[in-house]
């Protein structure tokens, strides 16, 4: 069965600190996709990144970086030099390529960046 676990319910950091959000997933498919979305206090869901199961190359985009490790079924997200505007709920999601159309979302991690 497919499952996404985000064990960190809430994290508080002081501005300029680095912070890593953890995501662990379960799937029986060999082909699947992983996603991160951000939900700021305004409520919209903003797409951040999509990764497929064959691409374990980690990525850096500005202050954001992602660490995908199939061996541990993890897809972690790091914000470097956090800013107050990074305060949001971050969701990890999984979608299997086996014909389904749905995302399975984790329960989200609320990040609070304090000035």
Partner 1 sequence: DTAVSQTPKYLVTQMGNDKSIKCEQNLGHDTMYWYKQDSKKFLKIMFSYNNKELIINETVPNRFSPKSPDKAHLNLHINSLELGDSAVYFCASSPGRGTDTQYFGPGTRLTVL
Provide the minimum distance between the beta carbon of 15 and partner 1 in the complex, in angstroms, as a whole number: 24
Q: 60 burial class (0-12, 13-18, 19+ CB within 10 angstroms)?
A: exposed
Q: Which of residues 25, 68, 75, 91 is near partner 1 by CB under 8 A?
A: 91
Interface residue with partner 1, options 20, 72, 83, 107 (CB under 8 A): 107
Cα 9 to Cα 7: distance, rounded to the nearest angstrom: 6
User: Which residue is associated with the tokens 């990764």?
Assistant: 51
Residue 57 in the binding site for partner 1 (CB under 8 A): no
Does position 64 bind partner 1 by CB under 8 A? no
Enter the DSSP assignment of 76.
Answer: E
**Running DSSP on this structure, what letter comes out for residue 28?**
S
Q: Which of 14, 45, 84, 114 binds partner 1 (CB under 8 A)?
A: 45
Q: Residue 102, interface with partner 1 (CB under 8 A)?
A: yes
Task: Please say whether the beta carbons of 99 and 32 come within 8 A.
Answer: no
Residue 39 · residue 55 · CB < 8 Å? no
Shortest distance, CB of residue 16 to partner 1, whole angstroms?
26
Residues at the site binding partner 1, with contacts judged by CB under 8 A: 32-33, 35, 37, 39, 43-45, 47, 50, 52, 89, 91, 95-97, 99-103, 105, 107-108, 110
């Amino acid at each position: 069965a497919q499952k996404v676990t985000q064990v960190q319910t809430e994290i508080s950091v002081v501005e300029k600190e680095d912070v890593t959000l953890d995501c662990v997933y379960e799937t029986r498919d060999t082909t699947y996709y992983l996603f991160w979305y951000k939900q700021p206090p305004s409520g919209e869901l903003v797409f951040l990144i999509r990764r497929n199961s064959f691409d374990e190359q980690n990525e850096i985009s500005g202050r954001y970086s992602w660490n995908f490790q199939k061996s541990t079924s993890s897809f972690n997200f790091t914000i470097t030099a956090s800013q107050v505007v990074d305060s949001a709920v971050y969701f990890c999601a999984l979608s299997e390529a086996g014909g389904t159309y749905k995302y399975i979302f984790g329960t989200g991690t609320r990040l609070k960046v304090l000035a």
